[in-house]
Amino acid sequence: MNHTKTLMRTLAGETLDIPPVWMMRQAGRYLPEYRATRAKAGDFLSLCYNPELAAEVTLQPIRRYGFDAAILFADILLVPQALGADLWFVAGEGPRLSPVTTADDIARLRPADEVHETLQPIYETVRILSAELPVETTLIGFAGAPWTVATYMVAGRGTPDQGPAHALRAENPAAFDALIALITDATIDYLARQIDAGAEVVKLFDSWAGSLTGPDFNRYSLEPIRNITQAIKTRYPHVPVIAFPREAGKNYVGFAQATGADCVALDNSVDAEWAAEKVQIDGCVQGNLAPRHMVTGGQELIDETRRIVKAFSGGPHIFNLGHGITPDADPDNVQRMLDAVRQG
């Protein structure tokens, strides 16, 4: 199945001469057409919950660049919102949520089997995309991994060191485990419904995995990702899972095998040559150009792109950035990167 799609072939373990390519945050503020559609929606969250406009911004980078994959336009924080947390975005600062800090707060959240009620518009976006995407383009659904989602829920915002979540897990492990279990169940349901609506691949974003060390990495990043992956694989054996334990460093080694993920996404702090030897040996990897090259461009962008393509040329590789493209990126640099990947 799906053998015309380069991304699906790569996730099935094929090594292609030219790797498939897409970019995290490819629908985003660096594109004037994205900013125009967001203005039409009113704000970011209204855009997420407007299926026609969310599908439109998902399609914009596909039309402009012809990426091999489209990622559903939504946000990892829609799950906490569906669990009952208030969510809003402060311009220039980022997300704010009503914090969940005690066992009572956790007990007051909605049960996992109710989250689908407020997430219906997201499934509608997936259905529209599934009908409208070009046949060669793979549709990726996603969710945040439980640890990362919990860090925002506990702190009520993004933090430099995820301190509040670390404090809660140390002081009240039972309450913290209950929160992780609730997010895990809600995420399984959320991803399953994205797949039912037409998502062909799902990706788990564990953006703050790198703040976990020793046994805590296994307990809060690896194990919840494994539990979600196993649950998805049981119901949908043919749907590939991409896991992104960002800044996991040496914990990237063996991560795919331990979780059952089909592909591990690498951030740009890891050396491509090292990762080819230590991580790609187990299967497909994705990554890992530093997003700053999309701002600075020049010969360095071309050289770095070629170096990464070459480093991973011995096995299955999906070319991507090591983190999301930033609003100050130059759209012409994206085209230069694509040309370097596809034309060498």
For residue 141, the cross-strand partners are 202
Q: How far is the C-alpha of 69 from the C-alpha of 6, rounded, in Å?
A: 9
Q: Is 248 in the site for ligand CP3 (CB under 6 A)?
A: no
Q: Phi-psi bin for 260: left (phi > 0), alpha (psi -120 to 50), beta?
A: left
Footprint on residues 60-119 left by ligand CP3 (CB under 6 A): 71, 73-77, 94-95
Q: Which is nearer to ligand CP3, 39 or 107 (CB)?
A: 39
For residue 95, the cross-strand partners are 89
Q: Is 191 in the site for ligand CP3 (CB under 6 A)?
A: no
Which of 152, 190, 220, 252 is catalytic? The answer is 152
The one segment of 25-33, 104-112, 224-232, 293-301 that binds ligand CP3 by CB under 6 A: 25-33
- Taking the chain, what is the end-to-end CA distance rounded to the nearest angstrom? 29
Q: Which is nearer to ligand CP3, 45 or 167 (CB)?
A: 45
Q: Is 153 in the site for ligand CP3 (CB under 6 A)?
A: no
Q: Is 324 in the site for ligand CP3 (CB under 6 A)?
A: yes
Q: How far is the C-alpha of 6 from the C-alpha of 304, rounded, in Å?
A: 22
> Rounded to the nearest whole angstrom, what is the least distance from the CB of residue 214 to ligand CP3 in the complex?
23
Q: How far is the C-alpha of 134 from the C-alpha of 209, rounded, in Å?
A: 34
Q: Is 11 in the site for ligand CP3 (CB under 6 A)?
A: no
Q: Which is nearer to ligand CP3, 42 or 94 (CB)?
A: 94
Q: Is 319 in the site for ligand CP3 (CB under 6 A)?
A: no
* Known catalytic membership, residue 38: yes
Q: How far is the C-alpha of 196 from the C-alpha of 193, rounded, in Å?
A: 5
> Rounded to the nearest whole angstrom, what is the least distance from the CB of residue 125 to ligand CP3 in the complex?
11
> Rounded to the nearest whole angstrom, what is the least distance from the CB of residue 281 to ligand CP3 in the complex?
26
Which of 75, 189, 262, 267 is catalytic? The answer is 75
Q: Which is nearer to ligand CP3, 142 or 217 (CB)?
A: 142
Q: Is 331 in the site for ligand CP3 (CB under 6 A)?
A: no
* Known catalytic membership, residue 25: yes
Q: Is 221 in the site for ligand CP3 (CB under 6 A)?
A: no
Angle at CA 248, nearest 5°, toward 242 and 250?
110
Least Cα distance to 177 among 152, 150, 144 occurs for 150
Name the closest residue to ligand CP3 (Cβ).
Answer: 207
Q: Is 56 in the site for ligand CP3 (CB under 6 A)?
A: no
Q: How far is the C-alpha of 92 from the C-alpha of 337, rounded, in Å?
A: 28
* Known catalytic membership, residue 29: yes
* Known catalytic membership, residue 236: no
Among 12, 15, 16, 44, binds ligand CP3 (CB under 6 A): 44
Number of residues near ligand CP3 (by CB under 6 A) = 21
> Rounded to the nearest whole angstrom, what is the least distance from the CB of residue 299 to ligand CP3 in the complex?
27
The one segment of 22-30, 113-121, 168-176, 299-307 that binds ligand CP3 by CB under 6 A: 22-30
Q: Is 241 in the site for ligand CP3 (CB under 6 A)?
A: no
Q: Kindly list the residues in this chain that would bind ligand CP3 in the complex (CB under 6 A).
A: 24-29, 38, 44, 71, 73-77, 94-95, 142, 158, 205, 207, 324
Catalytic (active-site) positions? 25, 29, 38, 75, 152
